[in-house]
Structure 1
Amino acid sequence: MGRRVVITGMGIWSCLGTTLSEVTESLEQGRSGIGLDQDRLKYGYRSGLCGIVPEPQLTKKDLDRHTRAGLSQEARYAFMASRDAFRQAGVDADYLQHHEVGCIFGNDSSAEPVIESAKIMDEKHDSAMLGYGHVFQSMNSTVNMNLCTIFHLRGINFTVSAACASGSHSIGLGMMMIRQGLQDMVLVGGAQESNIYAMASFDALGAFSVRMDEPTKASRPFDKDRDGLVPSGGAAALVLEDYDHAVARGATILAEVCGYGFSSNGGGISTPSDGGCRIAMERAMADAGVTADDIDYINAHATSTPQGDMYEARALGELFRGRRALISSTKSMTGHECWMAGASEAVYCTLMMQHGFVAPNVNFEHPDEDSEGLNITPVTVHTPLHTVLSNSFGFGGTNAALVLRK
């Protein structure tokens, strides 16, 4: 097993709120962050539904103009979340100057600067018009390169591009770095842009819900009347740390990351697999040294798509039917936060453990044949949580599962 890995700081920028207290309240009250964006409809989307994520208002008090110019939208989200995570962890500029800290973030697109660059080139036919920042905004590694520059991080530094499992894989890989003694502390997380350019190709696939008359009821994980997912975005950041290192510096320990499991389906590029889901969960539990009976709560990946929810429900049924673990998908309130989802849901799970409740799977009104019989809760349940499992699955058959312990 190697060294124990704990969470000592968290930050979040999401449609549920931009502080941990706001997000905790939203989760506990079952308050959705989904709304209707008219700009998407004007742009040509068939669905204008999305998570409503506020835009950070960065000024020279936060970052100098040169640095701000190189920040993509998702990097701005990630900066806000990471700054809060370091603050909660008690990690200041002096600490970062004298210690090696790594950074592994999940991000799998940076569409806005690419499209804006193409528009300028089409109109001006002069690359000099693109400006300084576009190159740093347009790369998938935009989040990592900016965070490591801003916070002067000198440890491991790379981006995980693994579709909707990116955030979970970043946590798992950060945990492995610390376990093996290669790093004492790693900033991990996930970021997802929420501009109108980012998800047009998903809309083209017919993947989005069109229940636009009732935005907060559009995301319906596991419900038989679901008609597609709702895109969302933002960023989540977690400070992972070696347990002994955290204790030695007097840090407050929020939770332990004790299991990471992964798999690849090896099938169709957009086809889920109950077998792949099950293997990732089994590996995570084996890595943590726990069984299905030890799990108090499962934050399901369940995005509200007919096929994806079906396969995950089958996998959950094979492992947890008849067990005590409560199940919900926070995507019923957030929509699908895509590249950030695995990281934000680790934050959501940790907040639930800290405050003793399970967030509801809102809009779960009519189970289908696969979800019927699963212990899915449509309402908030106040109960102690000690061990939770969080699932993330993505296009290309990439699967990740995490086990967190209070």
Structure 2
Amino acid sequence: MTTLNRVAITGIGIISCLGCDVDSVSDALRQGRSGIVVDEERKSLGFRSALTGRIDGFDGKKVLSRKERKSMPEFAVQAYAASRQALDMAALDETLVRSEDTGLIFGCDSSCLAAIEQVDLLRERQETKSIGSGQIFRSMTSCVTMNLNTLLGTKGACWSLSSACSSGGHAIGQAADLIALGRQKRVICGGAQEINWQSMCSFDGLGAFSVREDEPSAASRPFSADRDGLVPSGGAAAVVLENYDDALQRGATILGEVVSYGFSSDGENLSVPSRGGLQRAMLQALQRANLQPQQIDYLCAHATSTPAGDVAEAENIKAVFGENSPLVSSLKSMTGHELWMSGAAQVVYCTLMARDGFIAANINFKEPDEAARGLRIVTQTLPHPPKTVLCNSAGFGGTNACLVLDFGESH
């Protein structure tokens, strides 16, 4: 039987509507501070909902030169910034970064704005030569990893993973598997999501967004009976994973451990989650971690504040945990739904909670609906860290990713 390597978390980075550095984001999580606003431009354009997460204080010009940014949409620049934060925290020597033992995997499922911009240029100028070479790379779904690979000089695995709103979760899981199997010694991984209105107009047309524009910070209400839809958001999250023994040997600060990765697909519906798919992924993650359900003390839920999605997740959680629910919160109550990056962002948020000694609340929770009754929803910030965590993420098409994280005393 193959002996698997342990996988350490040694660095994290984040650009989100909660802040542009890990300390600001940790403070927002602790305080229960929302990053959701009303975007008046969306309203003037005819959006049903003008609500969105908003990233304040990020300036790509301070991160990369104009030439370097030429082939990068804003969310790819944010992914680079988050990765740099994570690498600085991990204190990885540049020779290790620029190694064939170092991989790069990000979850990303669209690059909408660049495609629109090049078509607009063609219509305006009636020629293609003025579009510019940068738009080729900006418009590709793999734009994050191809650009980061060039900038960071990594020489191992390099690809983007596309699986809707579970993309970030699958990217972290696949990166951990590569290390566990000995195929990479370290992987820079995460997720990125564009936050512009152009990428959200068709989603708005589905009627899935909350319309509580009178109080934006209270619009996202996962698991609450009075929820009326999700709020779109975005940014970038990055995690440095390493072979645990190698990290110990070089004296790295180990923030936690990715113990296991479970995955599944529903095989049923494009947009409506099933009553069994996420359950199978959770059980697989627990089995691979050699854990019983009662050993999970905190569950970071995918719950996006949609009527059908939250019900399905609540029922899947109950199917796994029965009457013994762990503490549960959906941090999308503060961030909105960060879509492609959300699974990776959850790993960053949980690592921050473990580092800084608290469990963040599911804010805006009033009363549970029937499906959520019995879940131990965290409604106030708790003054102790999570230790053994299950992170859920799910996406259109019924794709599910679950990660077990360990933040025990040994770290």
TM range (shorter): over 0.9
Equivalent AA in structure 1 for residue 7 of structure 2? V
Secondary structure class of the residue paired with 2:238: strand
Deviates further, 383-392 or 212-221: 383-392
Scaled by the length of structure 2, what TM-score is found?
A: 0.96
Deviation at 1:19, TM superposition (A): 1.1
| Counterpart for residue 393 of structure 1 | 394
Q: In the alignment, is the contact (CA less than 8 A) between 1:6 and 1:255 conserved in 2? A: yes
Q: In the alignment, is the contact (CA less than 8 A) between 1:321 and 1:374 conserved in 2? A: no
| Counterpart for residue 79 of structure 2 | 78
- Alpha-carbon distance between aligned partners in 2 of 1:204 and 1:195, rounded to the nearest angstrom: 15
- Alpha-carbon distance between aligned partners in 1 of 2:212 and 2:390, rounded to the nearest angstrom: 30
Deviation at 1:324, TM superposition (A): 5.3
1:34-113 mapped onto 2 (5 Å cutoff): 34-54=36-56, 56-59=58-61, 62-97=63-98, 100-113=101-114
- Alpha-carbon distance between aligned partners in 2 of 1:196 and 1:55, rounded to the nearest angstrom: 19
Q: In the alignment, is the contact (CA less than 8 A) between 1:321 and 1:373 conserved in 2? A: no
- Alpha-carbon distance between aligned partners in 1 of 2:272 and 2:100, rounded to the nearest angstrom: 43
| Counterpart for residue 246 of structure 1 | 247
Secondary structure class of the residue paired with 1:317: helix
Identity of aligned residues (%): 50
Deviation at 1:79, TM superposition (A): 0.8
How many residue pairs were aligned? 405
Deviation at 1:249, TM superposition (A): 1.1
1:1-400 mapped onto 2 (5 Å cutoff): 2-54=4-56, 56-59=58-61, 62-97=63-98, 100-323=101-324, 325-400=326-401
Unpaired segments ≥5 residues, structure 2 = none
Secondary structure class of the residue paired with 1:358: coil
Secondary structure class of the residue paired with 1:163: coil
1:358-393 deviations in Å (ceiling 9; x for gaps): 110111101110011111111111224210000000
- Cα distance 1:335–1:236, how it changes in 2: closer, same or farther (>3 A)? same
Deviation at 1:92, TM superposition (A): 3.8
Deviation at 1:174, TM superposition (A): 0.3
Deviation at 1:131, TM superposition (A): 1.5
Q: In the alignment, is the contact (CA less than 8 A) between 1:105 and 1:158 conserved in 2? A: yes
- Alpha-carbon distance between aligned partners in 2 of 1:63 and 1:277, rounded to the nearest angstrom: 39
Q: In the alignment, is the contact (CA less than 8 A) between 1:56 and 1:76 conserved in 2? A: no
- Alpha-carbon distance between aligned partners in 2 of 1:97 and 1:304, rounded to the nearest angstrom: 41
Unpaired segments ≥5 residues, structure 1 = none
Deviation at 1:285, TM superposition (A): 0.8
Deviation at 1:264, TM superposition (A): 0.4
Equivalent AA in structure 1 for residue 36 of structure 2? I
Q: In the alignment, is the contact (CA less than 8 A) between 2:20 and 2:58 conserved in 1? A: no
Deviation at 1:17, TM superposition (A): 0.9
Equivalent AA in structure 2 for residue 44 of structure 1? G
Deviation at 1:11, TM superposition (A): 0.2
- Alpha-carbon distance between aligned partners in 2 of 1:89 and 1:53, rounded to the nearest angstrom: 25
- Alpha-carbon distance between aligned partners in 2 of 1:95 and 1:330, rounded to the nearest angstrom: 34
Q: In the alignment, is the contact (CA less than 8 A) between 1:29 and 1:380 conserved in 2? A: yes
Q: In the alignment, is the contact (CA less than 8 A) between 1:164 and 1:394 conserved in 2? A: yes
Q: In the alignment, is the contact (CA less than 8 A) between 1:43 and 1:196 conserved in 2? A: no
Secondary structure class of the residue paired with 1:391: strand
Deviation at 1:58, TM superposition (A): 2.9
Equivalent AA in structure 2 for residue 13 of structure 1? I
1:309-330 deviations in Å (ceiling 9; x for gaps): 0000111112224325100000
Equivalent AA in structure 1 for residue 8 of structure 2? V
Q: In the alignment, is the contact (CA less than 8 A) between 2:325 and 2:374 conserved in 1? A: no
For the aligned residue pairs, the C-alpha RMSD in angstroms reads 1.3
- Cα distance 1:383–1:56, how it changes in 2: closer, same or farther (>3 A)? closer
- Alpha-carbon distance between aligned partners in 1 of 2:40 and 2:206, rounded to the nearest angstrom: 20
Secondary structure class of the residue paired with 2:271: coil
- Alpha-carbon distance between aligned partners in 2 of 1:97 and 1:228, rounded to the nearest angstrom: 44
Deviation at 1:90, TM superposition (A): 0.4
Deviation at 1:234, TM superposition (A): 0.4
Q: In the alignment, is the contact (CA less than 8 A) between 2:264 and 2:281 conserved in 1? A: yes
Equivalent AA in structure 2 for residue 58 of structure 1? G
Q: In the alignment, is the contact (CA less than 8 A) between 1:56 and 1:80 conserved in 2? A: no
Secondary structure class of the residue paired with 2:12: strand
- Alpha-carbon distance between aligned partners in 1 of 2:331 and 2:320, rounded to the nearest angstrom: 20
1:198-231 deviations in Å (ceiling 9; x for gaps): 1111101001001100101100001111110000
1:147-205 deviations in Å (ceiling 9; x for gaps): 10000011000110000000000011001111111100000000000011111111010
